[in-house]
Amino acid sequence: MSWLSENGLLVGLALLDGLSYAAAVFMVAVGLNLVFGVLRVLNVAHGSLYAIGGYAAASLGLFVASLGAPPWAGLPVLLAAAVLVGAILGPLIERLLLRRMQDREPVLQLLVTFALFMILEDLQKLVWGVQPVVFDAPLKWLGTVDVPFGTDVIPFTAYQLYVLPGVALATLAGLAYVLRFTLVGRMVVAVTVDREAARALGIDAAKVTLLTFTAGAALAALGGALAAPTVSLVPGVGASTIVLSFAVVATAGLGQVEGAAVAALLIGLGRSFAVYVAPEFEVVVPYAIMVAVLLFRPQGLFGVAETRRI
């Protein structure tokens, strides 16, 4: 216990950092998971939507600020940017591309999203350049909070302490409610479980798919928009985000919403502890957790094993 008392501050900081990091990762991973459920395609371009959401939020935020808007306006701007990105790019990608590929081989569908990823990566470089983009007005406006931790006090930004985990929790609760208790949500679940049977019951699977993909895209963009004030945006952020979300989704099990939250928390905390204790292993930890989980539960922590078909 002497190590803990000596490094109490470190542990506290790692906990707080991990929590806010997990919140952003959860937003992206849960969207990826939802989309996988109805489309049965792991959308590689999902990370690009995260990056574009972040860039769009930063641009919009800087633009609104240049008009002389009060600092609190930064927060609704983040949300607006995410909704905008999701509502424009989501239907565009699903309608023009993924829908046409529905009946093709899974490998080809996966490759289509990989091609999309390559296109969006360069598009984003063309629009926003390769210089880091920084928009931290909401972070500065909310200031810092002194978090009591044992005998110590840790100053931490209120944005990362309240806004990030708050939005993530609201998303989790909202999704859980919609999927369980509303007609639209039940339709999404039905299409996820068995597309054919759902259609036989009169559910418009194409519409549900479009809706889910748009929602998933907006969630990824929201994750990016929320993370934007806490990081500087550089090219390549989409690529690293997507592999991390893959790890979260595989750890949680496919099609799991609450599971994605647990896995994001596990991986977020694991990563932030690594940052403070053994920085060399920062990138390795998420995968180590995933491999360890899959070793004992091949279908993920909360996944359901598929029945064998003959």
Partner 1 sequence: MTRLGETLLALAGAAAVLALAYAVPWLRFVLTIALAKGLAVLGILLLLRAGQVSFGHALYLALAAYGIAFGTMAVPEALVLIPGAALLSGLVGLVIGLFVVRYREIFFGMLNLALSMVFYSVLEKFYAVTHGADGIRLGPVTYLGRPLAGEAAEWAVLAVALGLALAFGALVRVALASPLGEALAGIKTRETRLDFMGVSPRRVLLAAYVASAVMAGCGGAIIALTTRHVTPAIAYWTTSGELVFIAILGGAGSVLGPFLGAAAYELTRVYAAALVANAWQMVLGLVLLAVIVFAPGGLWGMIARRRPA
Is 247 a binder of partner 1 (CB under 8 A)?
yes
Report the site for partner 1 in 225-244 (rule: CB under 8 A): 239, 243
Which single residue is written with the structure tokens 């939507």? 49
Which one among 49, 252, 254, 301 touches partner 1, defined by CB under 8 A?
254
Give the other-Cβ count within 10 Å of 161's Cβ: 18
Binding pattern to partner 1, positions 34-53, x when CB under 8 A? --x-----x-x---------
For partner 1, the closer of residues 178 and 294 by Cβ is 294
Burial of 85: CB neighbours in 10 Å, binned 0-12, 13-18, 19+: buried
CA distance 52 to 81: 9
Residues belonging to the chain = 310
Is 308 a binder of partner 1 (CB under 8 A)?
yes
The answer to whether 57 and 273 have CB atoms below 8 angstroms apart is: no
Is 108 a binder of partner 1 (CB under 8 A)?
yes
Report the site for partner 1 in 150-189 (rule: CB under 8 A): none
For partner 1, the closer of residues 5 and 299 by Cβ is 299
For partner 1, the closer of residues 265 and 290 by Cβ is 290
Q: Write down the least CB distance from residue 273 to partner 1, Å.
A: 16
Is 107 a binder of partner 1 (CB under 8 A)?
yes
The answer to whether 4 and 258 have CB atoms below 8 angstroms apart is: no
Is 94 a binder of partner 1 (CB under 8 A)?
no
The answer to whether 257 and 54 have CB atoms below 8 angstroms apart is: no
CA distance 249 to 261: 10
Q: Which amino acid is at 126?
A: L
Give the other-Cβ count within 10 Å of 249's Cβ: 28
Which one among 62, 88, 110, 206 touches partner 1, defined by CB under 8 A?
110
CA distance 287 to 271: 10
**Binding span for partner 1 by CB under 8 A among 75-83, 157-165, 197-205, 291-299:** 291-299
Is 87 a binder of partner 1 (CB under 8 A)?
no
Which single residue is written with the structure tokens 């990030």? 164
Compute how many residues bind partner 1; rule: CB under 8 A: 47
Tokens of 288: 């180590």
The answer to whether 244 and 252 have CB atoms below 8 angstroms apart is: no
SS3 state at 60:
helix
Q: Write down the least CB distance from residue 52 to partner 1, Å.
A: 14
Q: Write down the least CB distance from residue 37 to partner 1, Å.
A: 12
Is 276 a binder of partner 1 (CB under 8 A)?
no
Is 290 a binder of partner 1 (CB under 8 A)?
yes
Is 111 a binder of partner 1 (CB under 8 A)?
yes
Which one among 8, 114, 232, 277 touches partner 1, defined by CB under 8 A?
114
Helices (H), 106-204: 106-128, 137-142, 158, 164-181, 183-193, 195-200
Residues that bind partner 1 (CB under 8 A): 36, 42, 44, 97, 100-101, 104, 106-108, 110-112, 114-119, 121-123, 125-126, 239, 243, 246-247, 250, 254, 279-284, 287-288, 290-291, 294-295, 298-299, 308-310
